[in-house]
Amino acid sequence: MLKKIAVFVFAGLLLLNIYGCVALLAGAAGGVGTKVWLSGKLSQEFQAPYDRAVTGAKKGLQSLDLDIIKETKEADVAQFKSVYSDGREIWVDVRKLTENSSKVEIRVGGVKADKEAAEKILKAIDRYI
């Protein structure tokens, strides 16, 4: 029984490792700046410093009349939470990649993510970065 559990855990870790490599290859093939829809999140890299990307994310949400109800900011990652009037939650993550590049990830909705709404928010953020 213990051997079966160990094999199952190892297989799960191997799958996660392979999945990460596939995501990395997909991102590298598309190049910097392309949008990627992965795990219910819309993700895009920007050639912009972290602080400018954080400011752009805030202004983008505000331009759509989306109030930020929770904000967490650290040295290399910031997260904003907002809510649509229909109750769908919005999460925006901004990550520092290098001194001159950042990554913005957006998820709208819980179990069933709304890609179109995430794209609308990403376009608004893009205008301010």
* pLDDT for the residue 25: 42
Q: Residue 20: give the domain boundaries.
A: 1-30
Q: Are residues 8 and 66 in the same domain?
A: no
Of the candidates 115, 91, 116, the residue with the CA atom closest to the CA atom of residue 104 = 91
Q: Are residues 23 and 79 in the same domain?
A: no
**pLDDT tens, per residue, the chain with 129 residues:** 555 554 555 555 444 455 554 444 444 433 345 566 667 889 999 999 999 999 999 999 999 999 999 999 999 999 999 999 888 999 999 999 999 999 999 999 877 888 999 999 999 999 999
* pLDDT for the residue 39: 73
* pLDDT for the residue 28: 42
Residue with tokens 């895009």, as numbered in its chain: 44
What DSSP assignment string belongs to 98-122? ETTEEEEEEEESSSS--HHHHHHHH
Tell me how many domains the chain contains: 2
* pLDDT for the residue 36: 63
Q: What are phi and psi of 10, to 5 degrees?
A: -60, -45
Q: Are residues 15 and 50 in the same domain?
A: no
